[in-house]
Amino acid sequence: MFPPTFDYPITFLYTDDLGQTAHFYERVLNLPLARDQGTCRIYRVGTGYVGFCQRADAPRQPAGIIFTLVTQDVDGWFLYLSGRGIPFDMLPVYNKTYRIYHCFLRDPNGYLIEIQRFDDPL
């Protein structure tokens, strides 16, 4: 007997400013809002989801989390976001070890966002 299947993932992250977070993910990254639960907002990313929940104990400097967005147009995203005044932690570069082209920035909560293209798509 096989276990049942899952339909899709949702990753939830904490924020202490849901309004600022919503602005960034809705207006800057243009992710579609899938569900507004009041203190949590869930966004569609391809076939998965990311959610942000308002929490007073949200970490000020989140560590150990990289939210990776995969696209064929890393440079397009870099130009688009740079043009909107978004600073980058790392400009687009090819990484031979992982055979990816990627760049890094941070969202208003300090979460590290990687925009990435695989040389050898999944």
* Domain limits, the chain: 10-118
pLDDT at residue 122, as a whole number: 65
pLDDT in single tens digits along all 122 residues of the chain: 899 999 999 999 999 999 999 999 999 999 999 999 999 999 999 999 999 999 999 998 899 999 999 999 999 999 999 999 999 999 999 999 999 999 999 999 999 999 999 988 66
What is the model's pTM? 0.93
By the 8 A CB rule, do 25 and 107 touch? yes
| Range 10-118 has CATH code 3.10.180.10 | yes
- Residue 62, sorted as left (phi over 0), alpha (psi -120 to 50) or beta, turns out to be beta
Residue 104 Cα to chain centre, angstroms: 10
